[in-house]
Chains A and B, each alone.
Chain A
């Protein structure tokens, strides 16, 4: 009941476009939305141990697909944003490991062990939540990560988002006001 009232409240919020419901989203859109999460896994596997290709792949996927629909835009943006911190953390881990390996002044100390632990947990959480999000996207549902979900929603569904989506009327390029 509470969830329903929250949805109604969101749908009626003039600052945001209404959310598409599962029965309104074509199968093709669902698959493209899911692809944002799944393609990243393949990219991660191919880029080990240099965590950079996954980011490039996510950026390309995002720019290729973002104009197809708000639903796809939301999921691909959430996938892209959510892998930024893990990518930076992995870079940090790689740099730290190289320094430990090559420089005698960088010890295999407790801070490094703690960092490894935290980065492994962060990566695991990222993978688990990405899989959940991919399944939800395939079902035509929204799924919000902590922080990145709200941020992506705000960027995509806000009325201040002027991006023109395929199938939506381009109000910017047709009749325009005189001033």
Chain B
């Protein structure tokens, strides 16, 4: 043994640290709910009720007077209505009453607020070649809402006491903190993967080709590489092509038939 045992000990230390780190990162989220104390991991630590989450969403919308832009044409509004209706009809049981709003802004963006409120920018519609691509993005956002990623993120980053202070009449500074957290829209890698998978399955159930999500991702990568900041909302890990690969490799069940939207997309885009 002698001096060799010194370096064996070093190896043991390094392996122990790596196991601690990766074990907590990868293994803990897989442990079923109830096996760990409440609050041990963020997936089980959401401590806002559905009602409180909806209240928080309403509060943010009222405080910042968020509403659909008046400049949005009826054609665009009705097209989004058709897309969201197809998705919501196949969503199944849900705690939220979804509300979609279009903001007239060239930024390629969409975001989910607490309580199932989803905001779509016209820039996103302008960049999409097909309504299926928009549906794919909306399905992804619905995935974030259904899995409560937004409120989970707010509570994790700011703390439940902070959120409750806002709900019970916090000052403008507190509200601004929450808004910044929501708007930053950067989710963890596992949350993005969960939302992707949820979106793909929802697209399949809605008879929309799930590969539209991969097509949209690839377009963002190919045509808008210089707009990293803009697409950050969707590509929290822009260099992680595994999400595109996973979307491309998603296998639909036998008998799946995609049904295209009966929308004149080119005409709609020209009205933006």
Contact A147 B12 (CB under 8 A): yes
Contact of A118 with B9 in the complex, beta carbons under 8 Å: no
Q: Which of B21, B23, B24, B153 contacts A108 (CB 8 A)?
A: B153
Of all chain B residues, which has the CB nearest A155?
B6
Q: CB-CB contacts of B3-38 with A at 8 A, as 1s and 0s?
A: 101100110110001001111111011000000000
Q: How far is the CA of A151 from the CA of B9 in the complex (A)?
A: 10
The residue in chain B whose Cβ has the minimal distance to the Cβ of A101 is B157
CB pairs A–B below 8 angstroms (12 shown)? A104-B186, A105-B186, A109-B189, A110-B190, A111-B25, A113-B25, A114-B21, A114-B24, A117-B21, A118-B17, A147-B10, A150-B9
Q: Assuming A108-B153, A109-B189, what are 20 further A-B pairs, CB within 8 angstroms?
A: A104-B184, A107-B188, A107-B236, A108-B156, A108-B188, A109-B190, A110-B190, A111-B189, A113-B24, A113-B25, A114-B23, A114-B25, A114-B26, A118-B17, A118-B20, A121-B20, A146-B9, A147-B6, A147-B12, A150-B9
Q: How near does chain B come to A111, taking the closest CB pair, in angstroms?
A: 5
Please give, as numbers and ranges, the residues of chain B lying within 8 Å of A121 by CB-CB distance.
Answer: 20
Chain A residues, Cβ within 8 Å of B21:
114-115, 117-118
> B residues near A, CB below 8 A?
3, 5-6, 9-10, 12-13, 17, 20-26, 28-29, 42, 153, 156-157, 184, 186-190, 232, 236
Residue contact A117 to B236, C-beta cutoff 8 Å = no
Interface 1/0s, chain A 96-126, versus B by CB < 8 A? 0000000011011111011101100110000
Q: What is the distance, in angstroms, from B158's C-beta to the closest C-beta of chain A? A: 10
Q: Which of A105, A111, A146, A154 contacts B3 (CB 8 A)?
A: A154
Residue of B nearest to A158 (CB): B3
Decide if A108 touches B6 in the complex (CB within 8 Å).
Answer: no
Residues from chain A with Cβ under 8 Å of B20 in the complex: 114, 117-118, 121-122
Q: Among B5, B26, B186, find the residue whose CB has the most chain A CB atoms closer than 10 A.
A: B186
- Please report the C-alpha to C-alpha distance between residue A104 and residue B3 in the assembled complex, in whole angstroms: 47
A residues within 8 A CB of B184? 104
Q: In the complex, what residues of A have CB within 8 A of residue B186's CB?
A: 104-105, 107
Q: Could you tell me if A114 and B22 are in contact, using CB atoms closer than 8 angstroms?
A: yes
Q: State in angstroms the CA–CA spacing of A110 and B156 once bound together.
A: 12
**Contact across chains for B10 and A110 when beta carbons are under 8 A apart:** no
Of the listed residues A114, A117, A121, the one surrounded by the most CB atoms of chain B closer than 10 A to its CB is A114
The CA-CA distance from A147 to B42 in the complex, in Å, is 35
Please name all residues of chain A whose beta carbon is closer than 8 Å to the beta carbon of B13 when the two chains form the complex: 85, 146-147
B9 touches A113 (CB 8 A): no
B10 CB contacts on chain A under 8 angstroms: 147
Per the bound structure, the CA–CA distance linking A74 and B136 in Å amounts to 64
CB neighbours (8 Å) of A154 from chain B are 3, 6
Question: Which of the residues A85, A113, A114, A151 comes within 8 Å of B6, measured between beta carbons?
Answer: A151
